[in-house]
Amino acid sequence: MKKSWTWVAGFFVAALVVYGPVFSAGFIWDDAAHVVRPALQSLDGLRRIWFEIGATQQYYPVVHTAFWLEHLAFGDSPMGYHGVNVLLHAAASCLFAGVLRRLDVPGAWFAAGLFLLHPVSVESVAWISEQKNTLSLVGYLLAALAYLRFDASRRRGHYAIATAFFLLALGSKTVTASLPAALLLIFWWKRGRLEFRRDVAPLLPWFCLALLGGMLTSWVEREFIGARDEDFALNALQRVLLASRVIWFYFGKLVYPVDLIFIYPRWKIDGALGWQFIFPLGIVVAAAAAWHWRRQRGLIVALLFFVGSLFPALGFVNVYPFRFSYVADHFQYLASLGIFALAGAGLTRVLGRWPLGLPSTIIVGGAILLGTLTWRQSSNYRTEFALYEATLAKNPNAAIAHNNLGNLLVSAGRSNEALPHFDAAVRLVPQSAKYEYSFAFALMGLSNPAAAVPHFERTLQIEPDHALARYGLGMAWKNLGRADAAEKQLKLAVELNPALPEAHFNLGVVLGQKGDAPGALENFAVAVRLNPQSPDPEFSWAVLLVLLNRLDEAWPHFERAGKLAPNRAYIQNSFGRALIMAKRLDEGMDHFRQAIQIDPNFAEGHANLAEALRQSGRTDEAARHFAEATRLGWKR
**Residue range 246-282, pLDDT digits in tens:** 999 999 999 999 999 999 999 999 988 999 999 999 9
More confident residue, 600 or 634: 600
Residue 58 · residue 225 · CB < 8 Å: yes
Amino acid at 231: D
Burial label for 394, CB within 10 Å (0-12, 13-18, 19+), is: middle
Task: Please determine, for residue 4, whether its predicted confidence score (pLDDT) is greater than 90.
Answer: no
Is 137 inside any structural domain? yes
Q: What is the pLDDT of residues 520-544, one digit of tens each?
A: 999 999 999 999 999 999 999 999 9
Q: How far apart are CA 295 and CA 241, in angstroms?
A: 29
DSSP 355: P
Cβ-proximal residues to 311 (8 Å cutoff; 6+ apart), any chain = 178, 317
Closest CA to 433 of 399, 393, 389, 391: 399
Is 281 inside any structural domain? yes
Residue 408 · residue 29 · CB < 8 Å: no
Residue 145 · residue 95 · CB < 8 Å: yes
Task: Please determine, for residue 398, whether its predicted confidence score (pLDDT) is greater than 90.
Answer: yes
Residue 422 CA from chain centroid, whole number: 19
Is 284 inside any structural domain? yes
Number of domains in the chain: 1
Q: How confident is the model at residue 233 (pLDDT cuts 50, 70, 90)?
A: confident
Burial 410-439 (b: 16+ CB within 10 A, else e): beeeebeebbebbebbbebbeebbbbbbbb
Q: What is the pLDDT of residues 373-391, one digit of tens each?
A: 999 999 999 999 999 999 9
Task: Please determine, for residue 13, whether its predicted confidence score (pLDDT) is greater than 90.
Answer: yes
Give the pLDDT mean for 142-153.
97
Give the pLDDT mean for 148-156.
96
User: Per the confidence metrics, is the pTM higher than 0.85?
Assistant: yes
Is 267 inside any structural domain? yes
Cβ-proximal residues to 193 (8 Å cutoff; 6+ apart), any chain = none
Q: What is the pLDDT of residues 32-57, one digit of tens each?
A: 777 878 889 999 999 999 999 989 88
Query: What pLDDT, on the 0 to 100 scale, is given for residue 542?
Result: 96
Domain residues for the domain of 338 are 2-379
What is the helix (H) or strand (E) element at residue 140, kind and residue range? helix 131-153
Query: What pLDDT, on the 0 to 100 scale, is given for residue 356?
Result: 57
Residue 232 CB neighbour total at 10 angstroms: 17
Residue 551 CB neighbour total at 10 angstroms: 16
Burial label for 403, CB within 10 Å (0-12, 13-18, 19+), is: buried
> Rg for the chain (alpha carbons), in Å?
32
Average pLDDT, the chain: 93
Is 523 inside any structural domain? no
Task: Please determine, for residue 591, whether its predicted confidence score (pLDDT) is greater than 70.
Answer: yes
Residue 547 CA from chain centroid, whole number: 47
Cβ-proximal residues to 158 (8 Å cutoff; 6+ apart), any chain = 146, 147, 149, 150
User: Mean pLDDT lowest for which of 69-73, 224-228, 331-335?
Assistant: 224-228
Query: What pLDDT, on the 0 to 100 scale, is given for residue 349?
Result: 84
Query: What pLDDT, on the 0 to 100 scale, is given for residue 231?
Result: 66
Task: Please determine, for residue 369, whether its predicted confidence score (pLDDT) is greater than 60.
Answer: yes
Q: How confident is the model at residue 227 (pLDDT cuts 50, 70, 90)?
A: low
Is 353 inside any structural domain? yes
Virtual torsion, Cα 66, 68, 72, 77, nearest 10 deg: 90
Coil vs helix vs strand at 223 = helix
Counting residues of the chain whose pLDDT is more than 70, the rounded percentage is 97
Is 37 inside any structural domain? yes
Is 560 inside any structural domain? no
